[in-house]
Structure 1
Amino acid sequence: MAKAKKTVFFCQNCGYESPKWLGQCPGCKEWNTFVEETVLPKSSGISGNGQGIQKERIKPATISEIDITEDNRITTNIEELDRVLGGGLVQGSMVLVGGDPGIGKSTLLLQVCKQLSDKGHSLLYVSGEESLRQIKMRAQRIGTFTDKMKLLCETNLETIKAIIENEKPEAVIIDSIQTMYNEEVSSAPGSVSQVRESTGVLMKIAKGMGISMFIVGHVTKDGSVAGPRVLEHMVDTVLYFEGDRHASYRILRGVKNRFGSTNEIGVFEMREQGLVEVKNPSQVMLNGRPTDASGSVVVCSLEGTRPILIEIQALITRTNFGLPRRTAVGIDYNRVNLLMAVLEKRVGLSLGECDAYVNLAGGMKLGEPAIDLGIVAAIISSYKNRVIDEETLIFGEVGLSGEVRGVSQAQQRVKEAEKMGFTTCIMPKANLEGLQGKFKIQLIGVANLREVMQYI
């Protein structure tokens, strides 16, 4: 007898399930995100037998029996990727890679395949979007691949599962999860049900067979992975590939990692032969910097364990309208407004009649509070049309009372500044203790914004 079909409603944002349509999702509080899908209920007989078999096979293990040595990690020989992953690829882990179309997700994973296959690891690259000839044409730009890497163009999950069990590769790449479909789910590929069920099947394969798995996920207009939010909760690591596809530099950022830090970033440059690692991002970000221009300041931001020097540019001009414009690129817009309000109240700058444009050079996005003092210095420099010495680095957090607060790991920031040839560093006075005499660079401690004004 055929199974009776059931209609349910899923939230496209978080995967919340409801028997009827709702205007607002109770889970994520988003509006108009519910879509109707038809699903088949699972048979209770099969479910019961499956559970019975599992009860006989599964046995609890003591914590001393579990091996967590570093041998469980596979290094990809791509240092920027290994840093974001926390030291390498963990066997049996599932990594979700998201990013805009054309940003370089498939190119990066092909390069991972090349490096791993050169080391003798067996791989399977499953594509649901490109033909075998298209993949080979793209792979020829990267280099020569060994026979350890095998290609498969398939979207049926049962077929993919059977091939993985037969080939037993050490790593699998799924490009992309939105094109995969499970025959047991009646909805279309890319729907909430299909993405969730397909990810669940692939996760069981990865954990059960100890296979490291990369899955590519499409992103929505706001930059998050398309499909249910539960997709990010199911995987072990979530990586986002950021940057303008028309620009050359790309940022690989980890937003979730069960095996490492979520603050690390990797910097790549897109070239004709593929993605090339940027070993010294500070030098790259400062290339082409103006020498005698007001409103230009170099700050130091800490991304995970890596200090990065980057230029902040500000342009303050008299407005021609009744309502001044405020524009921020790469920096939180509300944070810029807050710092301008502090300057008006605590320092007395008349910014209410000026348009303000603040830009983070290099196409990066930073949100660390340590760049506050650099934003403030750039605004003051442009407003007063005074050039800040190009060999001066500035960092520190600014409070609402105009005070300059200390930041974490100040020694690493000063060390990076000295390495890049800077001669002066304006920093919070609270961080000066213990740093005086350790560096050749001149350290200037400031406690509030009025002291900062004296050096600009």
Structure 2
Amino acid sequence: MAKDKTIYTCSECGGTSPKWLGKCPSCGAWNTLEETVAESASASKNRFQSLAKSQPVATLSEIEAGDVARTPTGLEELDRVLGGGIVAGGVVLIGGDPGIGKSTLLLQAVDAMSLQMKVLYVTGEESGAQIALRSRRLGLAGAQVRVLAEINLEKILATIESEKPAFCVIDSIQTLYSEQLTSAPGSVAQVRECAAQLTRTAKAGGTSMVLVGHVTKEGSLAGPRVLEHIVDTVLYFEGDTHSAFRLVRAFKNRFGAVNEIGVFAMTERGLKGVANPSAIFLSTHSEPVPGSCVLVTLEGTRPMLVEIQALVDSGGPSPRRLSVGLERDRLAMLLAVLHRHAGIDSFDQDVFVNAVGGVRISEPAADLAVMLAIQSSLRGKALPRGFLAFGEVGLAGEVRPAPRGQERLKEAAKLGFSVAVVPKANAPKKAPEGLTVHAVERVEEAISLARSLD
């Protein structure tokens, strides 16, 4: 019997090579080529035997366009990330670490949506009995939730055709296989083909579909990069499995805004939405402590208050700079700006910076709060109670404005903060009630103002 011809496929871009290489010739990624069975020449020939006729072309200005109809999932935080709810024919890919709560969240969503539409839960990792056991543990009725334990793609597509669900969950895409391919489940070819077939079925039948994806040890979605391109929405489930709080973040959304965030708390009855996430990221000190400064950051459209903590301690001949939740390179830059423009020297000190609650802050509006927390720890003087700051700091020492400053100040005033240091361009004409706003243009102004408020 002739041996099947094999090729090597890149797990990042899907490019192929006749032999194994350390570096992908298509995208340049290292150690991503995996051995797969090559498609036969007859199969490729049959695919192009019948060519479709040309289709009519429309002018862009003549195409009717309106807002897409959305159906709420019953979970407010999940709806926020999705842009208001699910869209008919939309395909969502959600990834996260094992045990983070992906299946729990989707089972809750399926149960809530079964009250208003026909749903189907396809599980390839667990049996139907395990899904039922989890449903009982979460206190879900599940009276109208249809469950299929299957990993064969053709059988799943036949079931979707017969059941005609309006909402379908595939848990997970890495466990499925198609009989048209000889490679094992989870391989690049199988994941790509199964995802493409399911997406085609969703678009043709108007079924809203959610695909659960595995993640690599680096935290990115496993499988070929094309998996993220063919779906409409990509969500990441984040959080520490030792913590009760989880974050769902949107990185791609064809039907809504990206970088939205949903906050959940893991309880005995499943994941519950957190209405006021600022309470999670603020420490409860009986008295103000040195090295702490509150920042108002934006996650999508939601302003959140996060506490930035800094610890400056005497270091050895090689002082360390360590940041958790913030960029380490940006921390080194801010320390240089502090020395050059504010005269605060920390070259012989260990500097540790942390964002409380495990949140990751990527926007530069955190610069001013980080610098004020560092100088507070270095001097051993706490900032006053109810103090907050935000603003981007440039290399020349200027304090640049942050987007949507008015909304940030309103959120701070609503939570009882009384003093705010903000860039001059963000100073409101009328400050929110109970909040005193100090506008600054330079780093040295902000440092002097913070010292005067001690």
Which bracket does the TM-score occupy, shorter chain normalised?
A: over 0.9
> Among 158, 171, 174, which residue is 2:170 paired with?
174
- Whichever residue aligns with residue 422 of structure 2, its letter is M
CA deviations over 1:149-182 (Å, ceiling 9, x no partner): 1111100001101111011000110001110001
> Among 402, 405, 410, which residue is 1:410 paired with?
405
Aligned CA distance change for structure 1 residues 118 and 344 (closer, same or farther; 3 Å) = same
Offset at 1:390? 2.2
> Among 313, 320, 333, which residue is 1:317 paired with?
313
> Among 375, 379, 402, which residue is 1:380 paired with?
375
Distance across 1 between alignment mates of 2:384 and 2:15? 55
Distance across 2 between alignment mates of 1:291 and 1:14? 53
CA deviations over 1:20-41 (Å, ceiling 9, x no partner): 3232223432222212211323
Distance across 2 between alignment mates of 1:144 and 1:31? 45
Deviates more, 1:213-222 or 1:32-41: 32-41
Q: 1:441 — aligned with what?
A: 435
Any idea what SS the aligned residue of 1:355 has?
strand
Distance across 1 between alignment mates of 2:56 and 2:128? 43
Any idea what SS the aligned residue of 2:147 has?
strand
Q: 1:227 — aligned with what?
A: 223
Q: 1:451 — aligned with what?
A: 445
Offset at 1:4? 8.6
Distance across 1 between alignment mates of 2:44 and 2:313? 71
Distance across 2 between alignment mates of 1:145 and 1:205? 29
Distance across 2 between alignment mates of 1:208 and 1:62? 23
Taking only aligned residues, the RMSD between alpha carbons, in angstroms, comes to 2.0
8 A contact 2:431–2:437 mirrored in 1: no
8 A contact 1:5–1:40 mirrored in 2: no
Q: 2:27 — aligned with what?
A: 28
> Among 194, 204, 210, which residue is 1:198 paired with?
194
Q: 1:347 — aligned with what?
A: 342
Q: What TM-score, normalized by structure 2, do the two folds share? A: 0.94
Distance across 2 between alignment mates of 1:289 and 1:211? 50
- Whichever residue aligns with residue 101 of structure 1, its letter is P
Distance across 1 between alignment mates of 2:3 and 2:91? 34
8 A contact 2:409–2:432 mirrored in 1: no
For 1:188-337, list aligned pairs within 5 A: 188-289=184-285, 291-319=287-315, 321-337=316-332
Distance across 2 between alignment mates of 1:289 and 1:150? 49
> Among 130, 134, 140, which residue is 2:130 paired with?
134
Distance across 2 between alignment mates of 1:437 and 1:153? 58
Any idea what SS the aligned residue of 1:362 has?
helix
Q: Which runs of 5+ in 1 are unaligned?
A: none
8 A contact 2:293–2:309 mirrored in 1: yes
Aligned CA distance change for structure 1 residues 22 and 82 (closer, same or farther; 3 Å) = same
Distance across 1 between alignment mates of 2:286 and 2:96? 32
Identity %: 48
- Whichever residue aligns with residue 423 of structure 1, its letter is S
- Whichever residue aligns with residue 442 of structure 2, its letter is N
Distance across 2 between alignment mates of 1:3 and 1:79? 56
Aligned CA distance change for structure 1 residues 438 and 300 (closer, same or farther; 3 Å) = closer
Q: 1:390 — aligned with what?
A: 385
Q: Which runs of 5+ in 2 are unaligned?
A: none
Query: Displaced runs of 4+ in structure 1, greater than 6 A?
Result: none
8 A contact 2:10–2:32 mirrored in 1: yes
For 1:361-380, list aligned pairs within 5 A: 361-380=356-375
Offset at 1:452? 1.3
8 A contact 2:281–2:359 mirrored in 1: no
Q: 2:81 — aligned with what?
A: 84
Distance across 2 between alignment mates of 1:437 and 1:67? 40
8 A contact 2:319–2:347 mirrored in 1: yes
Any idea what SS the aligned residue of 1:118 has?
coil
- Whichever residue aligns with residue 230 of structure 1, its letter is V
> Among 88, 91, 96, which residue is 1:99 paired with?
96
8 A contact 1:295–1:313 mirrored in 2: yes
Offset at 1:435? 2.9
Offset at 1:48? 4.0
Aligned CA distance change for structure 1 residues 421 and 147 (closer, same or farther; 3 Å) = same
**What is the total number of aligned residue pairs between the two structures?**
448
Any idea what SS the aligned residue of 2:104 has?
helix
> Among 100, 111, 114, which residue is 1:114 paired with?
111
Distance across 1 between alignment mates of 2:262 and 2:282? 17
Deviates more, 1:289-298 or 1:147-156: 289-298
Distance across 1 between alignment mates of 2:12 and 2:372? 40
CA deviations over 1:261-302 (Å, ceiling 9, x no partner): 112100000011000000111123225246331001100001
Distance across 1 between alignment mates of 2:227 and 2:319? 42
8 A contact 1:40–1:184 mirrored in 2: no
8 A contact 1:316–1:356 mirrored in 2: yes
8 A contact 1:118–1:145 mirrored in 2: no
CA deviations over 1:107-148 (Å, ceiling 9, x no partner): 0100110110122x1111111110111111111122333443
Any idea what SS the aligned residue of 1:372 has?
helix
Offset at 1:340? 1.0
Q: 1:73 — aligned with what?
A: 70
Distance across 2 between alignment mates of 1:208 and 1:392? 55
8 A contact 1:117–1:145 mirrored in 2: no
Aligned CA distance change for structure 1 residues 239 and 437 (closer, same or farther; 3 Å) = closer
- Whichever residue aligns with residue 35 of structure 1, its letter is E
Q: What TM-score, normalized by structure 1, do the two folds share? A: 0.94
> Among 148, 153, 174, which residue is 2:149 paired with?
153
Aligned CA distance change for structure 1 residues 98 and 290 (closer, same or farther; 3 Å) = farther
Is 1:427 the counterpart of 2:431 in the alignment?
no
